[in-house]
Amino acid sequence: MIRPMMGRRTKPKKFEIPLRYYDPEEEEKRKKRIQIKTRSLSRRQREKSQNVRILVYAVGLAAVIFLMYIL
């Protein structure tokens, strides 16, 4: 059913956004927490753990290839 254009039209729904205020102190606290979490593992330790992981994968792959060669 087609409604006539002269009738009452529906209005779009209105919404309200809750206001959020910038708090510089809270922002500094958040940045410090993030820095502490990322600083817990130094770059050298992360690189060492990545190298060990790559070595484990290489040994595992070599073992799979060796088993396939034997069978």
Task: Answer yes or no: pTM beyond 0.85.
Answer: no
pLDDT tens, residue order, the chain (71 aa): 555 566 677 788 887 777 777 888 988 998 888 777 666 666 667 777 788 889 999 999 999 999 999 98
- pLDDT of the residue at 60: 95
pLDDT at 5: 61
What is the reported pLDDT for 37?
A: 67
Structure-token match 């254009």, residue found: 5
Spell out the residues 6+ positions from residue 41 whose beta carbon is closer than 8 angstroms to its own: 49
38-68 b/e (C-beta count within 10 Å ≥ 16 → b): eeeeeeeeeeeeeeeeeeeeeeeeeeeeeee
Q: Distance between CA atoms of 49 and 27, rounded to whole angstroms?
A: 32
